[in-house]
């Protein structure tokens, strides 16, 4: 397989916004009903998913709860030498990310809440990232309000101590997670995120930003009208902030760990970061046409995220059917291995025993057929088709063999059991 930089997915947000529960439930197959038991992390937690050797690997970084996202991003991007000295990061060694209390350099940080925009706010309060003297842009002093001095992004660049463009070569996904009920933190969090997006675009080759308005389920304790009002309020803040800074608009998605929304949102976010997605979509479109399918999707069997789909939009009912079939395959496979005691062990054991011939076909009571085939490592193909379209299984198997060979060719992997 060709050498590809592993994309980074960085989860940012205030305390108790739901970042750690998302990581635990989506990427570690945790139980949503135990989310309240998850301890808050005080340092960034990083892990590469799904497994070593998987052609669609990515790194998830769960940052501690704060509103100082510049410092959070700097901490996860820093590299250090053997003695622990920082040799690279979001800020250049000469321009500094120094933690202090209050004011900083001669660039002028005054007091006041939030992040200023184009000189619109009076500055920042508290402790945080303090770029070098004369900094008039991002993070002249950022803290709980993650504010900046004379303009959140007006002077972004070398004057702020930011490193030169191209420092970060891996695709970088910044995800702001907000609790839909935490209204008092909306503005500070959104402004800090916008300032961080400006900074990231100065140093990274490929950056995508997204906002998850989390805990939007009906059982969250917030009335439906209030949830929708808060969602609209956040969308307006993000839209206006991105427009003000001349940045592309970003998706603002409503999510919950108790339904499919968090899986759908993260699938869409990762599709913008992972390599080869457009090639896979073209292959799936051709396969769908040649086999008269209703839907064709490539899933990660462990997280139940989908990495590529045909041209038609993903429907919640189709997603539910596909993930139910994944669970059936895992449960049936694990029956024959008594060593499987946990979900993670179950999936790892299934990977160990799954070969290129792994297959499942389920005929539903509504005249549809669900089709499952293993592609490579943790990647599987799931299809939905009418019963009338599955009258020649041999032809579909031949078409799948061609599809699988083409997918492995895209990954640069030999066409053998992987």
pLDDT band at 62 (very low <50, low <70, confident <90, very high): very high
Q: Higher model confidence: residue 331 or residue 105? A: 331
Of all residues in the chain, what percent carry a pLDDT higher than 70?
71
Helix (H) or strand (E) holding 393: helix 393-411
Q: Which long-range contacts (CB under 8 A, 24 or more apart) does 268-273 make?
A: 269/9, 269/173, 269/175, 269/208, 269/210, 270/7, 270/9, 270/58, 270/173, 270/305, 270/307, 271/307, 271/308, 272/173, 272/208, 273/7, 273/9, 273/58, 273/171, 273/172, 273/173, 273/206, 273/208
pTM of the predicted protein model:
0.78
- φ/ψ region of 180 (left if φ > 0, alpha if ψ in -120 to 50, else beta) reads alpha
Tracing tokens 């895992």 back to the chain, one arrives at 330
Instruction: Tell me which CATH code domain 8-90+163-271 carries.
Output: 3.40.50.300
Per-residue confidence (pLDDT) for residue 214, from 0 to 100: 94
Per-residue confidence (pLDDT) for residue 357, from 0 to 100: 78
Q: Count CB atoms within 10 A of the CB of residue 122.
A: 16
Tracing tokens 């009418």 back to the chain, one arrives at 386
State pLDDT tens for residues 64-83.
888 788 888 888 777 666 77
Query: Which has the minimum average pLDDT: 110-119, 156-165, 407-416?
Result: 110-119
Compute the residue count for the chain. Answer: 418
Per-residue confidence (pLDDT) for residue 369, from 0 to 100: 96
Average pLDDT, the chain: 78
Q: How many whole angstroms separate alpha carbon 249 and alpha carbon 235?
A: 10
Per-residue confidence (pLDDT) for residue 159, from 0 to 100: 35
Instruction: Tell me which CATH code domain 277-411 carries.
Output: 3.30.450.190
**Taking Cα atoms as reference points, which of 56, 5, 53 lies closest to residue 418?**
53
List the chain domain ranges.
Answer: 8-90+163-271, 277-411
**Taking Cα atoms as reference points, which of 159, 135, 241, 255 lies closest to residue 194?**
241
The DSSP letter of residue 91 is: B
pLDDT band at 352 (very low <50, low <70, confident <90, very high): low
Cα-based distances in Å from 191 to 97, 143, 186, 393: 19, 12, 9, 55
The DSSP letter of residue 357 is: T
């Amino acid at each position: 397989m060709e050498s590809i930089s592993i994309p980074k997915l960085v989860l940012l947000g205030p305390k108790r916004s739901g970042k750690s529960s998302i990581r635990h439930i989506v990427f570690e197959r945790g139980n949503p009903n135990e989310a309240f038991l998850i301890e808050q992390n005080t340092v960034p937690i990083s892990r590469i998913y799904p497994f070593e050797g998987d052609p669609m690997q990515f790194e998830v970084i769960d940052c501690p709860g704060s509103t100082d996202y510049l410092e959070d991003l700097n901490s996860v991007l820093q590299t250090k030498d053997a003695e622990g000295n920082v040799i690279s990061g979001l800020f250049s060694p000469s321009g500094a990310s120094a933690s202090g209390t209050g004011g900083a350099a001669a660039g002028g940080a005054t007091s006041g809440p939030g992040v200023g925009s184009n000189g619109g706010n009076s500055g920042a309060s508290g402790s945080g990232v303090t770029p070098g003297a004369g900094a008039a842009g991002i993070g002249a002093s950022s803290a709980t309000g993650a504010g900046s001095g004379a303009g959140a992004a007006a002077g972004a660049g070398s004057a702020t101590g930011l490193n030169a463009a191209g420092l970060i070569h891996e695709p970088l996904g910044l995800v702001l997670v907000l609790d839909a009920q935490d209204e008092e933190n909306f503005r500070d969090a959104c402004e800090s995120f916008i300032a961080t997006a400006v900074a990231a675009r100065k140093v990274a080759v490929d950056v995508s930003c997204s906002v998850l308005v989390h805990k939007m389920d009906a059982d969250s304790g917030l009335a439906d009208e209030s949830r929708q009002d808060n969602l609209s309020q956040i969308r307006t803040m993000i839209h206006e902030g991105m427009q003000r800074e001349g940045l592309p608009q970003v998706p603002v998605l409503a999510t919950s760990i108790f339904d499919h929304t968090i899986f759908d949102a993260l699938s869409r976010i990762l599709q913008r970061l992972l390599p080869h997605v457009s090639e896979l979509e073209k292959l799936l479109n051709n396969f769908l046409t040649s086999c008269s399918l209703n839907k064709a999707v490539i899933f990660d069997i462990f997280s139940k995220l989908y990495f590529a789909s045909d041209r038609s939009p993903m429907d919640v009912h189709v997603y539910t059917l596909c993930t139910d079939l994944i669970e059936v395959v895992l449960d049936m496979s694990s029956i024959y291995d008594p060593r499987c005691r946990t979900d993670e062990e179950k999936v790892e054991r299934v990977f160990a025993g799954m070969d290129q011939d792994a297959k499942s076909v389920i005929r539903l009571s509504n005249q549809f057929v669900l089709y499952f085939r293993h592609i490579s490592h943790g990647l599987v193909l799931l299809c939905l088709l009418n019963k009338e379209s599955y009258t020649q299984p041999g032809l579909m198997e031949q078409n799948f063999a061609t599809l699988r060979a083409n997918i492995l060719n895209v990954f640069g992997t030999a066409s053998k059991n992987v």
